[in-house]
Amino acid sequence: MTSRCWSVCFTAIAGIFLAGAQLSGQENLLYNPGFEKSKPVNIRKDAPAPWGDLVQRGIEIEQGDAVRMPVGWEPTSWGGWSKGSFMYVAGQEGREVHRGTRAICIQTKTGAYVVSKVGFSVAGEEEGLEGKRVLPLKKPFSFSFFGKGDGKVSCYLCTYLVERESYSAEKVTPAEFNMTGEWKKYEGIIEFTDPDVIGAFFVIVASSGTVTVDDVALYNSPVSKTP
């Protein structure tokens, strides 16, 4: 990841940091995890990043002055996206989307990144994490998503550290998931590997093929596997 990425990421996190937000019980920490909330976005060649950059690269994406896109999520202009498409899918539950009426669909041959613009603080203390938008520095925690398609998907946290840069200071298990043609839940575990991590934000990566992703979740502790 480049210095430009670091600057963009840090600005995004600093602007919408929610470290102290209270949640009840073991709740999903991600904002708009099912992509149901949307807003109008200007998507043209002269639009601000990342939308203008994607259009200029020839990425297939709906264009216009007020295109509906998911609130709190967007494709990046710094990771992949040299070919392919990005679609904010509207469809029927259980078919085009897993649940609700919206999902995101990515087609790529070279890799493509979609990020949550809500950041998280990382706490060295292992108590007091339940019910807060805080990730544990010293304990594993979990994520999940529903997906389908013919490609591969991975999830990780772009991290930032005290006084130095490190964009992936964690271990993710499994590192990657192979999609199938039917909706399926995929689950994994994340552990930080650097004691200087102080914050992070969530990233979805499609590395090949066509994939549709919905109902993404991030928890600050492991959760039981579900069918």
The pLDDT tens digits of the residues spanning 28-79 come to: 999 999 999 999 999 999 999 999 999 999 999 999 999 999 999 999 977 7
> Given this structure, which CATH class describes domain 3-33+77-219?
mainly beta
pLDDT tens, residue by residue, 185-227:
999 999 999 999 999 999 999 998 999 999 999 999 887 554 4
Q: Whole-model pTM?
A: 0.85
- Using alpha carbons, select from 88, 31, 12, 90 the residue that is nearest to residue 54: 88
The CB density around residue 69, as the number of other CB atoms within 10 Å, is 20
Q: What's the pLDDT score for residue 67?
A: 98
H or E segment to which residue 14 belongs: helix 3-15
Cα 213 to Cα 116: distance, rounded to the nearest angstrom: 13
Give 18-59 as a DSSP string. Answer: -TT-B--SS---SSSTTS--EEEEEESTTSPTTHHHHHHHT-
SS3 124: coil
